[in-house]
Amino acid sequence: MRRWVVAPDTRRHQVRAHRVGNMPLRVHDFDWPDRAVIGTIGLPGSRTFYLQVRSGTRMASIALEKQQADQLAEKIDEILDQLRTVEGNPFSVPTNTPPELVDNDPLEAASEDFRAGAMSLGWDQATAQIIIEAYPLVEVDDESDIPEDGALETEMLLVRMPVGSARAFAKRAHEIVGAGRPACPLCGYPIDADGHTCTLPED
């Protein structure tokens, strides 16, 4: 299986996310889930982004940064576009999102399982699935708090989805990321819901 790293955004967190050598204690494992989407809670300018996955009555919901959601969508599209160039398109990768897979519904009510730190994407040729792995952010005060084997994680999210669902996932993520605060036509800075003061360049 090929794997690509989706780097976490660490500018707002003094955090290190470490991949353990052995499998974490708890795995939220979803193979061909009924639903896998990026969504938000809150008003533009103060939105919290979530990756939510459901199979039947099982659900996992993890918080992540806007930059992570954007990078995840971009990388998924990049992988799918590369796969489409294989002669004969043997994995039946769609160019666009199949209409029957479009999902514009809001997030379902669920508690947050963890906030994502390190994330990675994989491609399993044997099953023709995109694989998403997400690990929790782990707060540490200094390097001495990190075990030698880096074994800080206790859980992870593992999602395996077919190419059509992956294309739909990426499309929705792009739309969600782009649906934030509108830009001011004068200064170009985002307009907050509670008001905006232009910051114009000096002559």
Please indicate, yes or no, if residue 49 is contained in any of the structural domains: yes
Tell me whether residue 41 is exposed, middle or buried, using C-beta atoms within 10 angstroms of its C-beta: 0 to 12, 13 to 18, 19 or more: middle
Please indicate, yes or no, if residue 77 is contained in any of the structural domains: yes
CA gyration radius for the chain?
A: 19
- The model carries a pTM of 0.78
Q: What pLDDT, on a 0 to 100 scale, did the predictor assign at position 26?
A: 86
Please indicate, yes or no, if residue 191 is contained in any of the structural domains: no
Spatial separation of the C-alpha atoms in residues 131 and 3, rounded to whole Å: 8
Q: What pLDDT, on a 0 to 100 scale, did the predictor assign at position 148?
A: 53
Please indicate, yes or no, if residue 194 is contained in any of the structural domains: no
Which of 7, 102, 108, 112 lies closest to 57, judged by CA?
Answer: 108
Look at the block and give the residue holding tokens 């934030």: 180
Please indicate, yes or no, if residue 197 is contained in any of the structural domains: no
Look at the block and give the residue holding tokens 């906030």: 115
Number of domains in the chain: 1
Structure tokens at 174: 């792009």
Please indicate, yes or no, if residue 188 is contained in any of the structural domains: no
Per residue of the chain (203 residues), what is the pLDDT tens digit? Answer: 666 666 544 333 333 334 444 555 789 999 999 999 999 998 877 889 999 999 999 999 999 999 999 999 999 999 999 999 999 999 999 999 999 999 999 999 989 999 999 999 999 999 999 999 999 987 655 555 555 544 555 789 999 999 999 999 999 999 999 886 666 666 666 566 666 677 665 55
Which of 39, 52, 34 lies closest to 173, judged by CA?
Answer: 39
Please list, in sequence order, all residues whose beta carbon lies within 8 angstroms of the beta carbon of residue 35, skipping any fewer than 6 positions away: 52, 53, 54, 103
**Side-chain-facing half-sphere of 85: CA atoms under 13 Å:** 5
Q: Domain holding 96: CATH number?
A: 3.30.2450
Please indicate, yes or no, if residue 70 is contained in any of the structural domains: yes
Q: What pLDDT, on a 0 to 100 scale, did the predictor assign at position 34?
A: 97
Please indicate, yes or no, if residue 192 is contained in any of the structural domains: no
Q: What is the domain range of residue 67? A: 2-177
